[in-house]
Structure formats: structure tokens, C-alpha cells
């Protein structure tokens, strides 16, 4: 399933195990992690509900300095994690900006 089939016009970035395939040896992963901008997080969750995904649980991130939060969703055996952060680094990831 393509991201636009799940999230429509909401910008998403592929993260986690699937994303690392571009830089490192492939590793086993059950699902796909999508990062969305903090301001679009509620829209992304609404999109999952509209497409009949079922929330499995809230995600836990031990490194609290990144400000990450998210949820795990499931539909027809397809596992999807949606993550975000209100911190500036997350916005920079979407807009290609890096500030010192």
C-alpha cells in the first residue's frame, strides 16, 4: 500500500526499519513507520480511521529528548506506526532545513 493511499495529501516520511534499507543491510520489520508533521498528526490518525485501520496501542519511546509520540495501527495484516514530534527537528526533516 502506498502512503498516498493511506494518508491522501498529508506529507509523510518513511522511518524505522524500512527507511534504513537505503543506508544499511536490510533487517526484519513487521510494519512500516510513517512520520508526520506535528500539525498534521490528527489528520493522519483521522485518515487511518476513515480507511478502517484499527488502533492497536500507543507507542513508547524511551529517549524522551526527541519528543516522539505515536500510535500503532493495523488493517488486513498490514502494521503501520504513525509517529511525530512537536520539536523543530521534525519540521526540519520535512522541509530539508538544517539549522546549527
Strand partners, 79: 31, 74
Q: What is the CATH number of the domain that holds 88?
A: 3.30.460.40
Q: Domain residues for 86?
A: 3-95
The tens-digit pLDDT sequence of the chain (100 residues) is 688 899 999 999 887 544 444 444 554 456 788 999 999 999 999 999 999 999 999 999 888 899 999 999 999 998 999 999 999 988 888 887 655 5
Give pLDDT, residue 52: 96
Q: In what order do the strands lie in the sheet with 78-84?
A: 12-15, 31-36, 78-84, 69-75, 54-58
Give pLDDT, residue 20: 43
Q: Answer yes or no: is 74 within a domain.
A: yes
Give pLDDT, residue 46: 97
Q: Answer yes or no: is 100 within a domain.
A: no
Give pLDDT, residue 14: 82
**Structural domain tally of the chain?**
1
Amino acid at each position: 500500500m502506498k502512503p498516498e493511499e493511506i494518508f491522501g495529501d498529508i506529507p509523510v516520511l518513511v522511518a524505522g526499519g524500512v527507511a534504513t534499507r537505503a543506508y544499511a543491510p536490510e533487517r526484519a520489520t513487521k510494519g512500516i513507520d510513517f512520520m508526520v508533521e506535528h500539525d498534521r498528526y490528527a489528520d493522519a490518525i483521522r485518515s487511518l480511521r476513515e480507511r478502517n485501520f484499527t488502533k492497536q496501542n500507543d507507542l513508547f519511546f524511551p529517549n524522551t529528548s526527541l519528543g516522539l509520540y505515536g500510535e500503532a495501527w493495523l488493517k488486513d495484516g498490514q502494521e503501520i506506526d504513525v509517529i511525530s514530534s512537536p520539536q523543530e527537528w521534525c519540521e526540519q526533516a520535512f522541509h530539508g532545513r538544517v539549522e546549527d
